[in-house]
């Protein structure tokens, strides 16, 4: 800790950014790692693994219910009023099913009226209520209305299917190493997996320009990775800040994103950096405080703080980024478009996984997300915290696999209306 303080004071005196290092060399670069240049001079390390390529076979035709297996009709009307109210009306029947563990999906209300949350912190988050709850507002003129009416063909994603790819996106301070248990598990089951290091994290390049770490810059990186590896049915798995990039890709590519999994991702509110935050301090000060920040992350990110958790934190290469990158990442979380309306427009099935001991993301935020989304399951893990995929890998892997295999029950075909018998005329000539 004294070394970090000394280096921080030298940084302040010399005026140079601390820990300004390039990407780490990957020892296993020849074993499943690829370095992708998403932009000139901007290189991301990607873990790409899967089964050996097999001759592609056409998927078997759906015979049940006349080819209607997995077919879902998504009907929703979203009305934004000028007084800041949001009315979400579910016009169709959303499929729900119990995935077997934790809290299962519940039938969504026919209508949900909420107040649009302010993007700055939890104080401005919305509270759900019935259509007729609360005092009636005088101003009820709609600002805009969004109609959603489409059909989604949601199918079971099984291992060794050539058209299925799983994308894993980590959050601030992490790396692709936090997904080790999940990557190994799904590769053994025959899935193709893709896990990138965000810029400035893991072994990816770390530009010393704050603009390189805005939400939009990182989102474009993820778009480039997605377009490079995407196939017909793609599943996005995000953790914490990585959930926002999954939401962005699902909104941009609704025909390519088949399912989404959000792990401790928070509520459906627009991103805006906090003004009063420790991460607004100069990078050299953050460098001095880095041992304290690492300890705070250990206490807040894990349900227990023993030797096992410290080893998991080290193996996962979590919270091991330079103070400059950390400061730029936190101050660059500006995404005003990602509000409740943006999330309510999603028609892709979503699994939300929440560790009940998470001190970064309250469970109320994930519950709020489940209310806004059209097709959502919320699963609670009592023993987990923010880094639940490291703490409870078996439970997380089971939940993820069950969701991949899930498909909605076939929609019953409408029966023809009975016709009245044609009676002959009583008068015969």
Q: What is the pLDDT of residues 275-294, one digit of tens each?
A: 666 666 666 766 665 666 66
Residue 412, SS3? Answer: coil
Structure tokens that stand for 42 in this block: 């901007």
Element spanning 301, H or E? helix 290-301
List the Cα angle 25/15/211 in 5-degree steps: 60
* Per-residue confidence (pLDDT) for residue 20, from 0 to 100: 37
pLDDT band at 14 (very low <50, low <70, confident <90, very high): very low
Specify the CATH number for the domain of residue 341: 3.40.50.1820
Report yes or no on 415 lying in a domain. Answer: no
**Whole domain around residue 375: which residue ranges?**
153-405
pLDDT at 59 over 70: no
Rounded Cα gap, residues 244 and 87, in angstroms: 23
pLDDT at 8 over 60: no
pLDDT at 231 over 90: yes
* Per-residue confidence (pLDDT) for residue 327, from 0 to 100: 87
The answer to whether the pTM exceeds 0.85 is no
Report yes or no on 109 lying in a domain. Answer: no
Q: 322: how many CB neighbours lie within 10 A of its CB? A: 21
List the Cα angle 116/117/120 in 5-degree steps: 150
* Per-residue confidence (pLDDT) for residue 10, from 0 to 100: 34
* Sheet with 192-196: strands ordered across: 33-39, 42-49, 192-196, 164-169, 233-239, 257-263, 350-355, 376-381
Query: How many folded domains does the chain comprise?
Result: 1
Report yes or no on 211 lying in a domain. Answer: yes
Q: What is the pLDDT of residues 295-319, one digit of tens each?
A: 566 667 787 767 776 676 666 556 6
Catalytic residues: 240, 358, 386
* Per-residue confidence (pLDDT) for residue 50, from 0 to 100: 85
Report yes or no on 77 lying in a domain. Answer: no
Tell me the angle at which helices 307-315 and 290-301 cross, rounded to the nearest 10 degrees.
110
pLDDT at 21 over 90: no
* Per-residue confidence (pLDDT) for residue 201, from 0 to 100: 94
Contacts of 319 (CB under 8 A, 6+ apart): 173, 174, 293, 294, 297, 301, 313
Report yes or no on 240 lying in a domain. Answer: yes
pLDDT at 387 over 70: yes
17-21, 72-76, 157-161, 190-194: range with lowest mean pLDDT: 17-21
Q: How far is CA 257 from the centre of its chain?
A: 12
Q: Considering the chain, what is the average pLDDT of its residues?
A: 77
* Length of the chain counted residue by residue: 429
Mean pLDDT of 337-350: 93
Report yes or no on 55 lying in a domain. Answer: no
Report yes or no on 262 lying in a domain. Answer: yes
Structure tokens that stand for 292 in this block: 């304290």
On whether the CB atoms of residues 391 and 309 are closer than 8 A, the answer is yes
* Per-residue confidence (pLDDT) for residue 123, from 0 to 100: 36
* Per-residue confidence (pLDDT) for residue 25, from 0 to 100: 38
**Comparison of pLDDT for 75 and 259, the residue scoring more:** 259
Q: What is the pLDDT of residues 91-124, one digit of tens each?
A: 866 555 455 444 455 455 666 766 666 544 433 3
Residue 60, SS3? Answer: coil
């Amino acid at each position: 800790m004294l070394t970090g303080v000394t280096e921080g004071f030298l940084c302040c005196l010399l005026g140079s950014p601390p820990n300004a290092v390039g990407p780490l060399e990957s020892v296993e670069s020849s074993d499943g790692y690829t370095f992708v240049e998403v932009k000139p001079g901007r290189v991301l390390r990607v873990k790409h693994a899967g089964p050996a390529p097999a001759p592609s076979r056409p998927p078997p035709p759906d015979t049940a219910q006349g080819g209607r297996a997995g077919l879902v009709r998504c009907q929703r009307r979203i009305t934004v009023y000028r007084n800041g109210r949001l009315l979400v009306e579910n016009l169709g029947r959303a499929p729900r099913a119990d995935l077997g563990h934790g809290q299962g999906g519940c039938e969504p209300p026919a209508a949900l009226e909420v107040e649009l949350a302010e993007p700055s912190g939890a104080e401005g988050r919305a509270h759900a209520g019935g259509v007729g709850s609360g005092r009636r507002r005088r101003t009820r003129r709609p600002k805009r209305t969004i109609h959603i009416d489409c059909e989604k063909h949601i199918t079971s994603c099984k291992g060794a299917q050539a058209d299925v790819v799983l994308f894993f996106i980590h959050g601030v301070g992490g790396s692709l190493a936090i997904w080790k248990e999940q990557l190994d598990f799904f590769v053994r089951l025959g899935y193709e997996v893709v896990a990138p290091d965000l810029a400035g994290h893991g072994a990816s390049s770390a530009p010393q320009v704050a603009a390189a770490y805005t939400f939009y810059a990182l989102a474009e990186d993820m778009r480039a990775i997605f377009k490079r590896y995407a196939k017909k049915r793609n599943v996005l798995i995000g953790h914490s800040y990585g959930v926002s990039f999954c939401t962005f890709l699902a909104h941009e590519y609704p025909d390519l994103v088949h399912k989404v999994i959000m792990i401790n991702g928070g509520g459906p509110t627009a991103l805006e950096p906090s003004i009063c935050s420790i991460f607004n301090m100069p990078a050299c000060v953050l460098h001095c405080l880095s041992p304290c920040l690492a300890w705070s992350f250990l206490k807040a990110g894990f349900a227990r703080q023993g030797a096992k958790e410290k080893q998991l934190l080290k193996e996962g290469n979590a919270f091991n980024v330079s103070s400059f990158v950390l400061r730029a990442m936190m101050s660059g979380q500006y995404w005003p478009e990602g509000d409740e309306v943006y999330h309510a427009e999603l028609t892709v099935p979503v699994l939300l996984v929440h560790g009940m001991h998470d001190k970064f993301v309250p469970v109320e935020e994930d519950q709020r997300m489940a209310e806004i989304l059209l097709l959502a399951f919320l699963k609670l893990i009592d023993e987990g915290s923010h880094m639940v995929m490291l703490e409870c890998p078996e439970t997380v892997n089971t939940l993820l696999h069950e969701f991949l295999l899930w498909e909605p029950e076939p929609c019953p075909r409408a029966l023809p209306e009975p016709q009245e018998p044609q009676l002959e005329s009583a008068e015969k000539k």
